[in-house]
Chains A and B, each alone.
Chain A
Amino acid sequence: MKSKKALVFVVIMVVIAITIVGAVLSWKNNWQVFWSISVGEVITILVAVFIAYIASQFKENEKKIKSYIEKELIELRNLADGNVLYNLQTIGKTRYKQEINLFFTKLDNIIAALEKKENEFKYKNEVKYLENEIKELHDFVSEKIEKYDCLCESVVIYKKHLNKISDKSLEIIFSLYK
């Protein structure tokens, strides 16, 4: 379906381009001849249209990927800003370990997704920074995973790391569109 649309687009562009060039040449020849156009000129037009099409597709793909990266980073910020670690007392003793483990699994998977495009969009150092902050936080929480009361009281430690994660994510979002 997508390739059919692309083909139709290319055909229309070629017809329009040939018509315009034909009209210009005809005007130059005082409107004597409309279809008098050399093979070389036709090929030039076709190549120009093809290159323009390919370039527009690359731009479109890049735009789509940037928007997916941005969505992942926004998700990361949302998790950092309003997450289970701040709500352990509400979650309670029966469920808190599961919620914490799921939370860190989600963070890991976001980082893994971001890493796939870190070289292409030049944010490798920033992702490494995020990974380090998540690791420090994960290690801290893991060593105390059985100490529910202690975890409930460690909000300041969580903020230390999660604020940095949120801020760095925003920095990467801005860098995508500079």
Chain B
Amino acid sequence: MLTIIIAKDFSDTVGGRYRAEGDYSGEQFREELLEPKVKEAISNNEKLLIDFDGGYGYPTSFLEESFGGLIRIGFESTVILNLLILKSEDNPKIIDRVKNYILEAKKDEK
């Protein structure tokens, strides 16, 4: 199983939505870390664990751009939802939040 520990592999203080706004944005996270790992997981038929613990928390814009953005760039929401294992003991509500962003991004696409 592949793993991304956001606080360790990216930043414990993430930023906003777009790269243009500042460092450690959702866009940067998706492009540099999440998307490559998702592609690797799909090609190896593996799961991808996303660990949200250890950081200071996540702006909703960061989460939406990271995960909703996957759908906007062409991934199927069912594929992503089956692939991802989400871990967030610091804030369990993040898990449903991220899943909703993935589902709602699909609706936007339509």
Query: Which residues of chain A have a CB within 8 Å of any CB of chain B?
Result: 97-98, 100-105, 108-109, 111-112, 135, 138-139, 141-147
Contact = CB atoms under 8 A, between A and B. Distances in A.
Contacts of B61: 139, 142-143, 145
A108 to B, nearest CB: 4
B57 A145 contact: no
A106 to B, nearest CB: 9
Given A97-B56, A101-B59, A102-B57, A142 B93 contact: no
Q: Secondary structure of the B side of the interface? A: loop
B68 interface: no
B10 interface: no
The 8 closest A-B pairs by CB, nearest first: A101-B57, A142-B59, A142-B61, A146-B22, A146-B21, A105-B57, A98-B56, A142-B60
A139 B16 CA distance: 11
B91 A108 contact: yes
Contact of B93 (A103, A111, A143, A144): A111
B92 interface: yes
A145 B16 contact: yes
Contacts of B22: 146
13 contacts: A97-B13, A101-B56, A101-B57, A102-B57, A104-B57, A112-B92, A138-B59, A138-B60, A142-B59, A142-B62, A145-B59, A146-B15, A146-B21
B91 A105 contact: yes
B15 A97 contact: yes
B91 A142 contact: no
Nearest to A109: B91
B99 to A, nearest CB: 15
Name the residue in B62, B90, B92, B93 with the highest tally of chain A Cβ atoms < 10 Å from its Cβ: B93
Nearest to A143: B61
B55 to A, nearest CB: 8
A146 B91 CA distance: 22
A145 B15 CA distance: 7
A40 B72 CA distance: 75
B106 interface: no
A18 B47 CA distance: 66
A128 B75 CA distance: 31
B17 interface: yes
A112 to B, nearest CB: 6
A143 B57 contact: no
Given A101-B57, A105-B57, A143 B16 contact: yes
